[in-house]
Structure 1
Amino acid sequence: MIPGFWLRGESWNAIVPAIEAAGHRTHPVTPPGLDAVDDDRSDIGLADHVAAVVALIDRLGKPVVLVGHSGGGAVAHSVVDARPDAVARVIYVDSLPLGAGVAINEELPVVDGEIPLPDWSFFGDEDLVDMDDEIRAEFRAKAVPTPARVATDPQVLRDSRRYDVPITVIACEFSVDVIRELIESGDPFVAELARVRDATFVHLPTGHWPQFTKPAELSSTIVEALTQVDG
């Protein structure tokens, strides 16, 4: 379970119990450089986050399902490219597969080689649906700056077998119809997604952080996606 920017493995805490109660083992990941606010993360890039998840898969030694939220979806997609035979499915939580040569987000404000959680005014209204003051305060209190290069390094992909791995996209900010319209129109934003051979789309209407705003709904949606895994 790969968190998005500013988040550690503990950001999945509200949904882990329901997933494990359904009979699954969870492995929440804290990406390199996010152990503590005062970590030195100046030399950490996207490849380091990918390598950490690949190493976890190799240690487990059996096929896994990857769950990637936001920027963690790009990490998940690169992991699939690195280990296509070791991933049974990818679940993208308000995220999509990122194409080769594309950066996750080059517009986030960088401060001394890292990206602190911006002011809430930086985000769009659609990001902040259901994010009440209590949730915002808790998020900010736990947020850890993201290494700048994780956001700006280009995605590196080499193995076309990644398109054979089934995926589930849990769309929060935008409806499934919008995503399908983008695919049908040939929009470059979804070019990588369009090449995946087996994609399921589910709409979970809320903001960009459903693990905080709709944890029960997100956990049940993930459990349902897990029922689609062969074996």
Structure 2
Amino acid sequence: MNGLLRKVLRFGTMITAGALMSSALPACGGSDPGGGTDNDGSAKNTYVLVHGAFVGGWGWDKVVPLLEADGSEVIALDLPAHGDDTTPLADASLQAYTDAVVEAIDSASRPVILVGHSMGGIVVSQAAEQRPEKVKTLVYLTAFLIKDGQSLNQEWADDEGAKIKTFAEASSDGTSLTFKEGWAEGAFCQDCSPEDIERLESHLREEPAKPFDEPIHVTEERWGSVPRVYIEALQDLAISPAEQKSQYTALPVERVISLDAGHAPFLTKPKELSDALKSL
């Protein structure tokens, strides 16, 4: 296993999702052939967490211990050219991202709950296409859920509520993107604490631009066979709530969970987010 993966296993007290998920909606997926229940009868899951643009695996740090509290396994990786990964910007591509996630899936001890945030939505779609038998549930966390042949930029182009676009700046050669001052509190995470804003800004790196224009390739036979859940963020200024709804309406999901949060609920609503994931 290479340095892309950070696997942390801890054991503690079970944290339930009952307070958040008051309605008795059916869980997605069927039996877990990889052993979703341990010998003591307690539920265990493996989560693979895929961050979005301008973030890294560090973004899940508040969520990881909450998911691990029941003994579940959590894999939070840095995509190529993100976080601590040293891949050159020129080598970052949708396929490189997908390969990293597939490696994480293959390293897991059981079929996984695969979670993609924002741009990570296109990556988890591609990964599920390659490993449908190893993905128990696909979760789109205020993420791009798009059709075969579409690119992120094509889907995002008409999202008038995406205020983050006013902060984006392309490099002179068009190969990367970064943000103008005020991006974090202005649109990416307007509900963040000053400490979280500082953390976002301290981790900001140039974002590879090419994957935004690369079309995804998925099929109903493979990607379409995996149960899908969408977690929408009702205060999102990066992917507007209207855009999120249009996506999960065009490509229906088995369940929609709503969080009253901006674009980064992993920072602002970690308990609510972890409860939602545990309810699946």
Normalising by structure 1, what TM-score?
Answer: 0.80
Could you say which structure has the higher strand fraction? 2
Q: How many residues align?
A: 214
Partner of 1:72: 120
Matches within 5 A, 1:17-166: 17-36=65-84, 40-60=88-108, 62-105=110-153, 109-111=169-171, 112=173, 113-120=175-182, 128-166=189-227
Partner of 2:231: 170
2:56–2:84 contact (8 Å) kept in structure 1? no
Note the C-alpha offset of 1:191.
Answer: 6.2
Which digits, 9 at most, give the CA deviation of each residue in 1:43-92, with x for residues without a partner?
31111101111122223363111011111111111111111111000121
Matches within 5 A, 1:190-229: 190=248, 193-194=251-252, 196=253, 199-225=254-280
Normalising by structure 2, what TM-score?
Answer: 0.67
Q: Distance in 1 between matches of 2:102 and 2:84?
A: 22
Structure 1 residues 153 and 117: CA distance shift in structure 2, 3 A? same
Could you say which structure has the higher helix fraction? 1
Report the more deviating stretch, 27-36 or 14-23. 27-36
Partner of 2:17: none
Which digits, 9 at most, give the CA deviation of each residue in 1:70-124, with x for residues without a partner?
1111111111111111100012111242212222236653214222244445997
Larger Rg: 2
Gaps of 5+ in 2: 1-48, 155-164
Report the more deviating stretch, 143-152 or 35-44. 35-44
SS at 1:77 equivalent: helix
SS at 1:79 equivalent: helix
1:65–1:91 contact (8 Å) kept in structure 2? yes
Gaps of 5+ in 1: 226-231
SS at 2:67 equivalent: helix
**Identity level (%):** 26
1:19–1:223 contact (8 Å) kept in structure 2? yes
1:37–1:144 contact (8 Å) kept in structure 2? no
Matched residue type, 2:265: P
Which digits, 9 at most, give the CA deviation of each residue in 1:182-202, with x for residues without a partner?
5xxxx5x446522x5xx1111
Kindly report the root-mean-square deviation, in angstroms, between the aligned alpha carbons of the 2 structures: 2.9
Segments of 4+ moved more than 6 angstroms: none
Which digits, 9 at most, give the CA deviation of each residue in 1:164-214, with x for residues without a partner?
211221111369xx77x95xxxx5x446522x5xx1111111100001111
Which digits, 9 at most, give the CA deviation of each residue in 1:128-151, with x for residues without a partner?
441243322211111222211122
1:42–1:114 contact (8 Å) kept in structure 2? no
Structure 1 residues 123 and 160: CA distance shift in structure 2, 3 A? farther
